[in-house]
Amino acid sequence: MQGPQGLKRVWGAAGLAVALLLSLAAAPAGATDKPPAPPYIVIDAQTGAVLAAENATHPWYPASVTKAMTAYMVFQALADGRLSDSQKITVSARAAGQPPGKIGLRAGSKVSVKLLLEAMIVRSANDAAVALAEAVAGSEAQFATAMTRQAQALGMSQTVFSNASGLPDPAQVTTARDLAVLARALMRDFPDRFGLFSKTYVVFNGQSRPTLLSWLGSYRGAKGIKTGFTCGSGYNLLAAAERNGRRLIGVVLGGRTSGQRNALMRKVMDAGFDRAAGGAAGSLLVSSLRGDPRVSVPYVLASGTCAVGISPGTEMMAKGALPGWGLVFGSFVSKDEAQARIAENRAALKDVVDRGKPTIVARTSIATHRYSALLVGLEPDDAGSACRHLQTLGVYCLAVPPKLLNNPQALWR
């Protein structure tokens, strides 16, 4: 697809749709291939019109951009009275023990929901994110399941969450398109709280700590919202900006450096505002973008300083190599949940494909123990048509080829 230098051209809906399809067709299928160009998308926040996009439906690690979804869940709990801003949360040992970045919560201390929210958003504090997750759902694992369900309800059709913070977990994936949908939902559903993403500091233990979101001070009209980085994701940015009454949402994923990421965001945002000023609103809506089910895993941005290793505790419950293509239906807290999802999806597919072997893969990590639900032993065409059918029903599905199905580093896990 055309690079950012050409985005000022006015595209018709058909031209943009064709360009997006070509971009998807060119996207790599797995973690051992050449990485795609950094995925990005720019949309009009009010209308949802797509102003520019490349690899926008290619699955990727969200990293700490995950915390925007955690914030949505907390805002929801505040809106319906399950939490209040002044409510004091007792910090668990598990929350306090999260790896950096963190704000420095102590196990057993009592901290207000308001301060936890500010610490999570302004300082990207993992300890605050887990404390909030436990307050909303009782455990981070239950919270992650609820996050995924809510994401699907918002139309984030390619997103799965496994934790509240964005710490590395191969099962946790999203797309640039889905993150744009999330930002738009935050603006629409919680306009009185969205300003938290533009807060420039948080006071904790008597000390003022500045925001980690450099976007706020580096772009005219910036309105937040969240950065993220892991070795697996590269440098991610979910951003909003407003000029002359027009608000845009931008997503850039997989930057090699924060500078490269920010530079690309500035280019695509500037081009988006130029298009808007010229009266070209864009007629392809973000809700209309759909991912190719065969483009099933993100690329792992490994290097000499960012090595990616096999997840500890990986265990295949089915012995030996998994045969053929596989359909991945999601990652669940319990084996029973995984089995139930396989049964539901097989029933939904009875008129599409009658083959396939139900399979569950268990994987443990530092933060979670999850069970992935699969249907394996399929032919490529059957896998593709089955996933497309489930996606039309609003059901999460990834089609995974054999070389990735049996790769212990593949991100469907």
> Residue 330's pLDDT is what?
79
- Structural contact between residues 172 and 162, judged by C-beta atoms closer than 8 angstroms: yes
> Residue 363's pLDDT is what?
64
Residues 6+ apart with CB under 8 A from 305: none
Instruction: Tell me the average pLDDT of the chain.
Output: 81
Q: Is the dihedral of CA 205, 211, 217, 218 positive or negative?
A: positive
> Residue 168's pLDDT is what?
81
- E-strand stretches of 66-218: 88-90, 110-112, 201-204, 207-210
> Residue 413's pLDDT is what?
54
How many whole angstroms separate alpha carbon 264 and alpha carbon 276? 18
- Structural contact between residues 173 and 157, judged by C-beta atoms closer than 8 angstroms: no
How many whole angstroms separate alpha carbon 389 and alpha carbon 122? 40
Tens digits of pLDDT across the chain (413 residues): 333 333 332 233 323 332 332 233 233 333 334 556 789 999 999 999 999 999 999 889 899 999 999 999 999 999 999 999 999 999 999 999 888 889 999 999 999 999 999 999 999 999 999 999 999 999 999 999 999 999 999 999 999 999 999 988 877 899 999 999 999 999 999 999 999 999 999 999 999 999 999 899 889 999 999 999 887 788 899 999 999 999 999 999 988 888 889 999 999 999 999 886 655 555 689 988 877 655 555 655 544 445 333 333 333 333 457 888 888 887 777 788 888 889 999 999 988 888 888 888 876 543 445 678 889 999 988 888 888 888 777 777 778 788 777 765 555 55
> Residue 314's pLDDT is what?
32
> Residue 255's pLDDT is what?
87
> Residue 407's pLDDT is what?
66
Buried-exposed string 222-245: b where 16+ CB fall within 10 A, e elsewhere? bbbbbbbbbbbbbbbbbbbbeeee
Domains of the chain plus CATH, in order, are: 315-405 (3.30.70.1070)
- One-letter amino acid at 324 equals G
> Residue 174's pLDDT is what?
94
> Residue 294's pLDDT is what?
52
- One-letter amino acid at 249 equals I
> Residue 397's pLDDT is what?
79
* DSSP summary character for residue 173: B
Kind plus residue range of the DSSP H or E element containing 250: strand 246-255
Place of tokens 């291939």: 33
Buried-exposed string 311-338: b where 16+ CB fall within 10 A, e elsewhere? beeeeeeeeeebbbbbbbbbbbbeeebb
Residues 6+ apart with CB under 8 A from 290: 57, 157, 391
- In this structure, how many other beta carbons lie within 10 angstroms of the beta carbon of residue 14? 10
Give the residue numbers annotated as catalytic, written as ranges.
Answer: 64, 67, 124
> Residue 288's pLDDT is what?
86
> Residue 409's pLDDT is what?
52
> Residue 278's pLDDT is what?
54
> Residue 395's pLDDT is what?
75
How many whole angstroms separate alpha carbon 44 and alpha carbon 184? 9
Residues 6+ apart with CB under 8 A from 121: 67, 71, 196, 197, 199, 226
- Structural contact between residues 411 and 231, judged by C-beta atoms closer than 8 angstroms: no
> Residue 81's pLDDT is what?
97
Is 347 strand, coil or helix?
Answer: helix
- Bridge partners of 210, per DSSP, are 201
- What would the two tokens of residue 171 be? 């099962």
- Structural contact between residues 39 and 291, judged by C-beta atoms closer than 8 angstroms: no
How many whole angstroms separate alpha carbon 78 and alpha carbon 103? 22
> Residue 383's pLDDT is what?
86
Residues 6+ apart with CB under 8 A from 343: 358
Q: Nearest-CA neighbor of 171 among 374, 333, 413, 365? A: 413
> Residue 298's pLDDT is what?
63
- In this structure, how many other beta carbons lie within 10 angstroms of the beta carbon of residue 394? 10
pTM, full prediction: 0.69
- Structural contact between residues 72 and 194, judged by C-beta atoms closer than 8 angstroms: no
Q: Nearest-CA neighbor of 115 among 224, 192, 186, 196? A: 196
- One-letter amino acid at 170 equals P
> Residue 116's pLDDT is what?
98
